[in-house]
């Protein structure tokens, strides 16, 4: 950090002391990189030690979808971060989440099955929702995680139609119907999918319908393996 920047951050700290979104204690612009979450709250997140292997059938063929969730939605800090990212515009919270995701991959052993030629991609938002929120939190997490794992992060999928929010739909069958056929491959990206291991990023895994639907499109386009990574499993 150069001298001017240090002085600027010092002044900003003094004038507008930032508060941790979780514990509301003062945090320092200089010490806490995310500037929205303090180190103590970050360290308090309980990381999962496991991941899941979910078998499913596609075109008569048995497939396995691997799913890793870094923590639980019942973790107080995680719950708050996910909510603040989704509804309150705190996009900076995606950065500490990417760090937690990298820690989780090591902690759970998932890191060992990730190959150097993997590619990271987020579950896309519909353009209208993206415009409203201004960012896709899964995309930021994916980009940061990509730097950490030294694998590329690319936008491979897009929403071709708008869906209702999964959280307001009650039955699993209706959730599957809601997202059926809603994704397609971004033009010109097909070559990036065939034969590769793809790390698919989303924030919360509830019924899994959205993520499985996205995974199916990747498999249909020749992905060798899809590993779903989410912040929390509800
Ligand atoms: Zn805190």
The pLDDT value recorded for residue 47 is: 97
CA 90 – ligand 1 centroid, Å:
15
Q: Among candidates 101, 78, 122, which has minimal Cα distance to 210?
A: 122
CA 59 – ligand 1 centroid, Å:
48
Task: Measure the CA–CA gap between 203 and 184, rounded to whole angstroms.
Answer: 20
CA 45 – ligand 1 centroid, Å:
11
Residue 159 phi/psi, 5-degree rounding, is -85, 130
Helix (H) or strand (E) holding 214: helix 209-220
Sequence-distant (≥ 6) Cβ neighbours of residue 169 within 8 angstroms: 175, 178
CA 76 – ligand 1 centroid, Å:
11
CA 181 – ligand 1 centroid, Å:
41
Task: Measure the CA–CA gap between 13 and 18, rounded to whole angstroms.
Answer: 7
Q: How far is CA 202 from the centre of its chain?
A: 4
What's the token pair of residue 12? Answer: 């900003």
The pLDDT value recorded for residue 2 is: 78
Sequence-distant (≥ 6) Cβ neighbours of residue 52 within 8 angstroms: 66, 67, 68
Q: pLDDT truncated to tens, each residue of the chain (234 aa)?
A: 678 877 877 777 777 778 888 898 888 666 555 678 888 899 999 999 999 998 888 888 888 889 999 999 999 999 999 999 988 888 889 999 999 999 999 999 999 999 999 999 999 999 999 999 999 999 999 999 999 999 999 999 999 988 988 878 889 899 999 999 999 999 999 999 999 999 999 998 888 899 999 999 999 999 999 999 999 987
CA 41 – ligand 1 centroid, Å:
4
CA 51 – ligand 1 centroid, Å:
27
Domains, the chain, with CATH or none:
1-44 (no CATH), 45-233 (3.40.50.2020)
Q: How far apart are the first and last CA of the chain?
A: 40
What's the token pair of residue 135? Answer: 């960012």
CA 18 – ligand 1 centroid, Å:
11
The pLDDT value recorded for residue 158 is: 97
Sequence-distant (≥ 6) Cβ neighbours of residue 210 within 8 angstroms: 123, 166, 175, 179, 202
Q: β-pairing, 119-122 with 157-159?
A: unpaired
The pLDDT value recorded for residue 90 is: 85
CA 24 – ligand 1 centroid, Å:
6
CA 75 – ligand 1 centroid, Å:
14
- Decide if 230 contacts 202 (C-beta within 8 A): yes
- Predicted TM-score (pTM) of this structure: 0.89
167: three-class secondary structure by DSSP: helix
């Amino acid at each position: 950090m150069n001298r001017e920047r240090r002085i600027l951050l010092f002044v900003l700290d003094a004038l507008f002391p930032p508060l941790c979104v979780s514990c509301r204690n003062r945090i320092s612009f200089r010490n806490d990189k995310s500037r929205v979450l303090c180190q103590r709250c970050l360290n308090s997140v309980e990381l999962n030690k496991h991941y899941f292997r979910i078998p499913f059938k596609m075109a008569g063929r048995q497939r396995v979808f691997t799913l890793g969730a870094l923590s639980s939605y019942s973790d107080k800090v995680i719950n708050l971060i996910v909510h603040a990212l989704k509804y309150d515009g705190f996009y900076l919270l995606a950065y500490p989440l990417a760090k937690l995701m990298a820690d989780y991959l090591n902690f759970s052993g998932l890191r060992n099955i990730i190959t150097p030629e993997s590619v990271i991609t987020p579950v896309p938002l519909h353009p209208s929702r993206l415009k409203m929120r201004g960012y896709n939190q899964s995309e930021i997490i994916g980009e940061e995680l990509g730097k950490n794992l030294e694998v590329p992060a690319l936008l491979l999928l897009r929403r071709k139609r708008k869906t209702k929010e999964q959280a307001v739909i009650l039955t699993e069958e209706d959730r599957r119907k809601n997202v059926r056929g809603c994704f397609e491959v971004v033009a010109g990206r097909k070559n990036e999918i065939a034969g590769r291991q793809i790390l698919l990023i989303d924030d919360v895994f509830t019924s899994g319908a959205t993520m499985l639907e996205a995974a199916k499109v990747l498999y249909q386009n020749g992905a060798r393996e899809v590993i779903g990574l989410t912040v929390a499993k509800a």
